Amino acid sequence: MLEALVYGILVGAAIFSAIQSLRADSLLRSAIWLAGVSVLISIVIYLLGAHRVAVIELSVGAGLVTVLFVFAISVAGGEGIGERSLIPKPLAWSLIIFSGLLLIYFVLPIKASISTVSETSLATVFWQDRSLDLLVQVALIYSGALGLVGILAEAKAPLQQSMVDEFAAERELALHDMEIKAGSEEDHPIEPQSKSS
């Protein structure tokens, strides 16, 4: 009973933080509430027995991502989150509540509890059985880094007008040469559009 209470409080607090994150005035507060969600979720995960995942979630979710958000918001954010949404709020509410209720209907009857571990060890599962996942993660991180560099690159300076003129002149000359070489015989490859029927 106590256990369920603890879980209930933690999960409830996480949902509360999420809702506060939704309704925050400024982006910075939103990001801080997100960090709160992250911390609470990581505590719940720890209580469920997945210690390593909880640590990773805490350090990455509540640490790295929050710092990232704060940095990005300080550079890019700042205004315009108080605008009206495109979708009427009642519609959004009703849809969400409807799906939520149905989901709860499905979730409540699940009678399961923490069962005993049936696998060898996390290390074997992680490094050997799921080695393909590791490959995927490496590829993801690599592409993420490349993407970051690519997206944040400075835009190339537009070509100066003099160079543009130079290229155009070269093209003119080349076309002229081709016309002279082709002569008169092979000069009508495309049929004219005079059709009457």
Interface positions, 49-88, toward other proteins (CB under 8 A): 49-50, 52-53, 56-57, 60-61, 64-65, 68-69, 71-73, 75-77, 80-81, 83, 85-87
CB of 38 to other proteins, least distance (A): 6
CB of 70 to other proteins, least distance (A): 10
CB of 7 to other proteins, least distance (A): 4
The footprint of other proteins on residues 18-47 (CB under 8 A) is: 18-19, 21-22, 27, 30-31, 34, 37-38, 41, 44-45, 47
Helix H segments across the chain?
Answer: 2-22, 27-47, 51-56, 65-76, 89-107, 122-124, 131-151, 161-182
CB-count burial class (<10 Å; 0-12, 13-18, 19+) for 149:
exposed
Tokens 């409830």 identify what position? 12
The number of residues that bind other proteins (CB under 8 A) is 109
Nearer to other proteins, 76 or 162 (CB): 76
User: Which residue from 159, 163, 176, 196 is in contact with other proteins, where contact means CB under 8 A?
Assistant: 196
The footprint of other proteins on residues 99-128 (CB under 8 A) is: 99-100, 102-108, 110-122, 125-126
**Does 168 help bind other proteins (rule: CB under 8 A)?**
no
**Residue 45 CB neighbour total at 10 angstroms:** 18
Cα-trace Rg, the chain: 30
Distance CA 19, CA 106 (A): 23
User: Which residue from 129, 165, 166, 172 is in contact with other proteins, where contact means CB under 8 A?
Assistant: 129
Phi and psi torsions of 18, nearest 5°: -65, -45
CB of 29 to other proteins, least distance (A): 11
Distance CA 29, CA 70 (A): 10
